[in-house]
Structure formats: C-alpha cells, structure tokens
C-alpha cells in the first residue's frame, strides 16, 4: 500500500471495513436477468480457469486439495464505448479469483449441489496508489499465494481466502495488467481523473463479472482494500447504492447483498490525517522539541491548520491541501539519519520502526514486491492467467505514476463525506490499522472518526463497545498473543492491530484473517471481569467452517444432548456479541458462549488410567524396597486431579445471567480513542519478534518497480 507522492502522498490509502454482520437491505432487489451483453462477448467461468500446474511452485505441493481453484483474465467494462474511448474492443480489468475448496459452501462449479442456505461470502480486494496493482494484495498480503525469491509460488497460511472467496482487481484504467502497451496505438487511452469515474467503471466491471460468475450474485459481498482504497471503496459503494442515477448502470445492475466495507490503513480524510503527523510523531518519540528543525516542522503544521481554518464550507474544501502535504516531507527531512556506510536514510513511512534510503523512504519495502515482478515476467504464468498479450502491458509494474498523475479529483470532496450516509443506510464499515504505520496512522483515523457525525452524534458515543482482541493458537499449548483492540458503535468498527505496518496482512497473516472472522462473527467472546475479549484463531470459531469429513469421523465423540432438552453438554463455537436479531432470549443460557470440557474430561480419564497403571506396576515390583519412600513422596497426590490442560477463561466465571448486548456494556469501559498506542505498549511488546517486518533494515526492490523521481523536495511514493 503505498502512497504515490509524499507531497501528494496523502492522496492514498485505504482501510478496513466492518465488523459485526447485520442483515443488509442496502441494494434494492432488481431483476437479475435484466442485463445483457453482446453475443460475441458471452463468456463463462471455464474461459478463465487457471491450471495451477502452470504456476511455478504449486506442483510441488503434496496436498493438492490445499491449492485453491483459480480464475483469471480480463473482463470488459459493461457498455463502455471502446470506439470513443480509443481502447481495444476487448479491453477489460484484469482480475484473479480464488476459491478455497475447504470452505463450507459447495464448489462453485457444481451448480446441482449449490447450497442456497449457505451461499458464502465474496471479498473484492483493491489496492491503492492511486495506480497500484491489486496483485500486491493477491501475492504479498491477504491472498492465498506468496512468491519466494526465485519467483515460485507457495501457500499463505494466513490468507483471507480461507474465510471467503476472493477477487483481486487491477483498477482503475491503466493499473497493473489493466494497463495497455506503451505504443503509439494506445498512447491516447484516457485515464480516470476523478473518483466518480473510477466508481462507475468498477460497477460496469461488476455487471459483466456477475455474468461470468452468476453463482457469486447470491453471496454476501464485501469490498475490501487498503491505503487509497479508502477513497475508492466509499465512492464505489455510494455508486452501487445510487445506481439508478447512472445511465450506464440503472438497467443492468444485478441484485446482490453488499454487506460490509473493509478499509485497512485507509487514506480517507486528507486534512485530518495530515494534521495527525506531528502529534503522532511526538507520541511515538520520532521527534521532540530538541530535534533540529522541529520549529520549522511546527510552522508548516500551523500553516496547514490556518489554511484549513480558512475553508468555511464543504463546497470550498479542496481534495488535498499543499500546505498539509508538506508536513510529512518535512518530518522525513528532519528525522533522516546515516547508515553504517554513512549514506543518508529516512524513516520508512509504512513502518516507522524501519529505515530506507532517500528518497524512497519505504518504496524499497517489502522485498516481496520484487519477487512478484519476477513472477509476472514468466510467460507461462501470463499464459496461465489469460493475460491478453495483444494489448496488455509488457511488464507488471506495481504502481504506475501516470494513473496517479491523472487522478487530480478537481472539484471533488474526499470520501470522508460519504461515510456517514453509508453508515446510516445500514452498511457496516470496518477501519483496521496497523499501529506502526506513519503515513496513515492510528491518530489520523481516530481523529477522523471523532470529527465525523453520523446517526445524530459525532464520533464514538458513550455507548461505544470496547474489546481486547486476542489471537489463540490451536496447538496443544493454546498460546495467546495480544492482537489488538476493537471499538464498535453505530455500524462503524475501528480495529487497532498491534505491531503491524501499513500492510497488515503482510506482517500478521494469521492474525489479520481474524479481521474477517470479526466481520463474519466467527470469533469467541470471553469476559474477564469487565474486560470483553474477542478471540480469533487459525480456524474460524464457527462449527460451519469445520470439515464435514472430520465431523463425520468424530460423530461418536461429540458431546451428547440430554433427552430432557438440556443442552449444557453441547459445544458452542461462537457467540453473536451484538444484536444480530438472533432468536434467543436475553436470559437464555443458549445466549452465552460455553465451551464444554467434555473432551478434556474424557482425555483426563484415560490419562489417569495409564498413570495409575504405570505407577501400580512400579509399586508392585518395588514395594518391599521402595514403598515407604514412595508413599512418603506421593501421599495424597491422587485425592483429586483437575484437568492439567484446562485453561481458566471467562466461560468458567461468567454470570449466566449476564447480558452481552452492545448497549449494556459501554458505560464502565475506560478506553479512550487517543489511548490506542501507549496504553497497550506493554502488551504489544509481547508480539512475536520473528515477524517478517521486525528484522528488516534495508531491502532491495526489483528493477521493474516504479522508482520515484525527486522533483524539488517532492518524493513520489507508491500506495498499494
């Protein structure tokens, strides 16, 4: 996720989307069969099927079932007049779709066995920039594949595709493999210059996408992305809600359920987020009043504030303000240092704990980007992905400067002004942020939330729900790691992810999948005193996500249900921790999450049996000689044995009459928005120091990636 320009860099970024699924009626029901295409453009999913054997590295994987089903290629924009637009007739957005065969809903290709009761979830992922390829997301972040230094693919165990089907789309026009060859024939191809056009074009892509994959119309749709996708996603969602006012869409848009928006480290409110740079840098000890040049930085900050104060109305507001863009440039200038070779280096704006060479300041990170460029240079890969070699760009470039340069958004206002209406229309929005990101930092997002008014109140209200978030491994040790904090109020969720950068899924793959679990209610809710804790793990805490085969094999080990209807021995895997229109009573025990220790007690019985047998044999054989000493050492040891593997959790101590509805838990919480960093510094320090982002100092990127050219003081950054 990058920002393409540090002067203009605050034009980037996206963040997270919502938690706590509430039934949506966001898009009115429309005639699904109403839209049409030209006969020669009628395609089906088989035309886009990807043979995994052509993807280097995947053939070496022994468990073939773990390799996702893949579809890729170019899908045209519906009803786009290519003659007027001066583009090839078959021009389209490049996409890569993944389906994990272990997901609970049936195989997409098996139309006869589609389960109408469980249509599943589909996530569209967009990277930012503007102009950065969503293949960053597919191969470096939330997608099921990662690329090694030899250009070979391997599986990402923390992929979001283990929770939902995923589609990664290169957009807008000119991005990634949605770019055309650099030839005279295509030199006049128009690029989008405003976000309204971006939104309409993506909606046109969706119309034809659902024609190719009609089974996806039934799924719950989530729009997700990061960085500048914080602009893309709200504009796209607004266009989908208001499709009837767009001639290109109104007669052809199929009905589908738009459930949530997930925006990670998003660039949403340029002014507020720019004004957060200095206080965030001070809070995190990046600068102080003793730092040389601090007064100059303070003066630039004040110039930005004065310019903002002079803007009286929303109509007068500029999309971005140069005086505010200058803050981050000055901050980088006064914090530069020397490396061991006496070369100048600056903060990595995507992870302030790292350094990078000047003027890149993060553009050389992470190293995986260069591996992706190498991967896409493989002709066999391009053939497997059905990349149209007649007009598609010869080389994959992560972030294209020409797309960013065209996106001036003259006369437009930032997406922050669209969020209140989306929230009030019942759409869930989740903003998730890595706490080590500088460019789209936590303070900028929390300040933005506090200034935003929706549902009749500004910011999070006194009834805001606060949760600690813990990741619990599924191994025998049940190791726990503090993952972050979650705040929820009036359809808006903010998730602070500990020890993560601008690219949360890259740094914390297993933990980041918990963001999707939160959205889909596949987490545990535990209570320790007044603390409410959400628990995620490698697998979703939802019985529907466990393999059917495993369930069949273990039928004889499932906890029984008493004949009188008492289900105290039944295992519950999840709990709806907000008003989800569930059909239980508030005082019903079924409304409480309970993890029964039936299996543990059964294991304990066998353990005791073998322990007693073992010591019994020893006692018989050595009774005469060793019994007195033996008895003295173990006297009373077996008077009562507790389960040695049992973990004390909220389930052991929770009051069965406790009501966990959201509106009843907020008043006693001490959490403040401004406390998301320092208050949890001690917990965050327990994060795994071996994570991929913790020991990187200087990284090299491939030659095919964009190299920013300095223009005066201006630095161009990519914003995936």
Query: Using an 8 Å Cβ cutoff, are 421 and 20 in contact?
Result: no
Which of 5, 12, 282 is CA-nearest to residue 136?
12
Cα dihedral 707, 710, 711, 717 sign: positive
pLDDT of residue 214: 94
Spatial neighbors of 373 by CB under 8 A, at least 6 apart, are: 395, 396, 397, 398, 702, 703, 704, 705
Asked whether 86 and 190 are in contact (CB, 8 A), the reply is yes
> Of 216, 269, 261, whose CA–CA distance to 125 is shortest?
261
Rounded to 5 degrees, what angle do the CA atoms 449, 452, 456 make?
Answer: 120
Can you read off the two tokens belonging to residue 252? 């052809």
The 8-class DSSP code of residue 45 comes to G
Task: Find the radius of gyration of the CA atoms of the chain.
Answer: 27
pLDDT of residue 118: 74
- Beta-carbon contacts of residue 521 (< 8 Å; ≥ 6 apart): 20, 21, 542, 574, 576, 577, 580
The whole-number pLDDT of residue 545 equals 53
Q: pTM for the whole thing?
A: 0.73
Q: In the 3-class helix/strand/coil scheme, how is 64-118 assigned residue by residue? A: HHHCCEEEEEEEECCCCCHHHHCCCCCCEEEEEEEECCCCCCCCCCCHHHCCCCC
Helix (H, G, I), strand (E, B) or coil at 226: strand
Q: Is the distance from CB of 140 to CB of 362 less than 8 angstroms?
A: no
> Dihedral angle at the C-alpha atoms of 695, 697, 700, 706, nearest 10 degrees?
110
d(CA 16, CA 537): 19
Q: Residue 543: what pLDDT?
A: 56
Strands of 358-479 (E only): list them. 428-434, 453-454, 457-458, 465-472
Q: String of b and e for 609-646 (b: at least 16 CB within 10 Å)?
A: eeeeeeeeeeeeeeeeeeeeeeeeeeeeeeeeeeeeee
Quick check: 249 and 200 in contact, CB under 8 A? yes
State which H helix or E strand residue 448 sits in. Answer: helix 442-451
DSSP string, 17-43: E--S------SPP--GGG----GGG--
* Alpha helical stretches, state H, 459-573: 504-507, 509-519, 548-553
Q: Using CA of residue 693, residue 699, residue 703, residue 709, what is the dihedral sign?
A: positive
**Over the range 414-427, which residues count as b (16 or more CB within 10 Å of their CB) and which as e?**
bbbbbbeebbebeb
For the beta carbon of residue 683, count every other beta carbon within 10 angstroms. Answer: 17
Q: Mind listing the pLDDT tens digit for each residue in 262-300?
A: 999 999 999 999 999 999 999 999 999 999 999 999 999
> How far, in Å, CA of 706 to CA of 720, rounded?
12
Three-class SS of 103-169: CCCCCCCCHHHCCCCCCCEEEEEECCECCECCHHHHHHCCCCEEECCCCCEEECCCCHHHCCEEEEE
Annotated domain spans of the chain? 45-266+370-416, 271-366
- Going by their DSSP bridges, the two strands 220-226 and 524-528 should be labelled as unpaired
Tokens representing 385 are 């992905």
Q: How would you write 662-704 as a 3-class SS string?
A: HHHCCCCCCCCHHHCCHHHHHHHCCCCCCCCCCCCCCCCCCCC
Task: Tell me how far apart the alpha carbons of residues 522 and 516 are, in angstroms, rounded to a whole number.
Answer: 8
Cβ atoms 239, 203 nearer than 8 A: yes
- Distance, in Å, from the CA atom of 663 to the CA atom of 644, rounded to the nearest integer, reads 37
**58, 272, 435, 449, 634 from 329: Cα distances, Å:** 43, 16, 20, 25, 70
Q: What is the pLDDT of residue 250?
A: 85
Q: Count Cβ atoms below 10 Å from residue 181 Cβ, excluding itself.
A: 17
H helix or E strand, kind and range, residue 278: helix 277-283
Structure tokens at 283: 């809070």
Residues annotated as catalytic (active site), given as ranges: 227, 437, 502
Q: What is the pLDDT of residues 108-146, one digit of tens each?
A: 444 444 445 678 999 999 999 999 999 999 999 999 999
Percent helix, strand, coil in the chain, to 5, is: 35, 15, 50
Parallel, antiparallel, or unpaired: how do β-strands 257-264 and 16-17 relate?
A: antiparallel
Neighbours of 353 (CB within 10 A): 15
Q: Which residues of the chain have pLDDT under 70?
A: 1-41, 105-117, 184, 312-316, 476, 543-603, 606, 618-720
Fold for 45-266+370-416, please state it: Rossmann fold (3.40.50)
Q: Using CA atoms, how far apart are residues 16 and 123, in angstroms rounded to an integer?
A: 12
Tokens read off for 285: 């000890």
**453-454/428-434 β-pairing:** unpaired
- The secondary structure element, H or E, covering residue 368 is helix 368-376
Q: How many CB atoms lie within 10 A of CB 703?
A: 10
Alpha-carbon distance values, 640 to 390, 604, 644 (Å): 76, 12, 12
């Amino acid at each position: 996720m990058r920002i393409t320009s540090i002067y203009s860099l605050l034009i980037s970024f996206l963040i997270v989307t919502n938690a706590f699924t509430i039934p949506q009626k966001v898009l009115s029901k429309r005639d699904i069969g109403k839209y049409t295409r030209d006969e020669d453009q009628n395609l089906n999913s088989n035309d886009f099927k990807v043979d995994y054997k052509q993807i280097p590295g995947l053939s070496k994987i022994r468990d073939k079932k773990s390799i996702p089903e893949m579809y890729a290629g170019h899908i045209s924009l519906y009803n786009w007049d290519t003659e007027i637009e001066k583009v090839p007739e078959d021009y389209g957005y490049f996409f890569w779709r993944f389906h994990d065969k272990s997901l609970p809903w049936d195989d997409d290709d098996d139309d006869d066995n589609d389960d109408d009761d469980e249509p599943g979830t589909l996530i569209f992922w967009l990277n930012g920039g503007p102009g950065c390829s969503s293949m960053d997301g597919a191969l470096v972040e939330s997608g099921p594949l990662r690329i090694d230094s030899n250009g070979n693919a391997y599986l990402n165990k923390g992929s979001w595709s283990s929770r939902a089907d995923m589609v990664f789309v290169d957009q807008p026009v000119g991005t990634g493999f949605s770019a055309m060859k650099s030839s005279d024939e295509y030199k006049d191809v128009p690029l989008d210059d405003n976000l309204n056009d971006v939104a309409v074009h993506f909606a046109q892509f969706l119309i034809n996408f659902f024609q190719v994959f009609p089974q996806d119309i039934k799924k719950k749709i989530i729009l997700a992305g990061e960085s500048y996708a914080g602009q893309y996603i709200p504009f796209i969602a607004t266009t989908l809600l208001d499709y009837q006012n767009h001639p290109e869409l109104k007669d052809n848009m199929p009905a589908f359920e738009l459930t949530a928006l997930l925006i990670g480290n998003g660039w949403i409110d340029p002014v507020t987020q720019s004004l957060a740079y200095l206080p965030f840098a001070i809070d995190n000890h990046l600068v102080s009043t003793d730092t040389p040049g601090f007064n100059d930085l303070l003066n630039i900050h004040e110039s930005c504030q004065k310019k903002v104060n002079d803007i009286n109305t929303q109509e007068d507001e500029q999309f971005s303000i140069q005086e505010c863009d200058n803050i981050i440039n000055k901050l980088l200038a006064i914090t530069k240092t020397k490396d061991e070779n006496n070369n100048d280096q600056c903060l990595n704006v995507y992870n302030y704990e790292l350094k990078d060479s000047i003027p890149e300041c993060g553009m050389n990170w992470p190293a995986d980007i260069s591996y992706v460029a190498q991967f896409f240079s493989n002709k066999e890969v391009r053939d497997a992905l059905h990349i149209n070699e007649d007009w598609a760009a010869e080389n994959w470039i992560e972030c294209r400067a020409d797309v960013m340069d065209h996106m001036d958004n003259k006369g437009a206002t930032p997406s922050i002004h669209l969020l209140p209406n989306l929230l009030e229309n019942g759409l869930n929005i989740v903003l998730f942020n890595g706490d080590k990101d500088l460019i789209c930092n936590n303070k900028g997002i929390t300040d933005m939330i506090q200034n935003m008014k929706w549902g009749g109140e500004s910011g999070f209200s006194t009834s805001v729900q606060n949760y600690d978030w813990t990741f619990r491994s599924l191994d025998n040790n049940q190791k726990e790691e503090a993952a972050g904090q979650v705040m929820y109020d009036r359809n808006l969720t903010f998730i602070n992810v500990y020890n993560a950068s601008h690219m949360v899924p890259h740094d914390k793959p297993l933990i980041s999948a918990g963001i999707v679990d939160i959205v889909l209610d596949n987490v545990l809710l535990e209570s320790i005193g007044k603390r409410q804790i959400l628990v995620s793990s490698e697998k979703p805490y939802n019985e529907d996500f466990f393999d059917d085969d495993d369930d069949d094999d273990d039928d004889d080990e499932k906890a029984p249900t008493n004949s009188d209807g008492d289900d105290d021995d039944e295992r519950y895997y999840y709990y709806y921790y907000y008003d989800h229109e569930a059909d239980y009573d508030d005082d019903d025990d079924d409304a409480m999450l309970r993890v029964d220790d039936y299996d543990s007690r059964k294991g304990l019985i066998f353990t005791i049996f073998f322990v007693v047998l073992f010591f019994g044999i020893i006692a018989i054989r050595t009774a005469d000689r060793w019994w007195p000493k033996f008895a003295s050492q173990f006297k009373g040891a077996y008077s009562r044995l507790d389960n040695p593997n049992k973990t004390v959790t909220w389930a052991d101590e929770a009051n069965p009459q406790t009501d966990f509805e959201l509106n009843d838990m907020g008043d006693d919480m001490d959490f403040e928005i401004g406390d998301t960093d320092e208050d949890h510094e001690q917990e965050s320090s327990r994060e795994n120091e071996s994570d991929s982002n913790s020991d990187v100092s200087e990284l090299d990127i491939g030659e095919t990636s964009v190299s920013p050219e300095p223009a005066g003081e201006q630095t161009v950054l990519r914003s995936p």
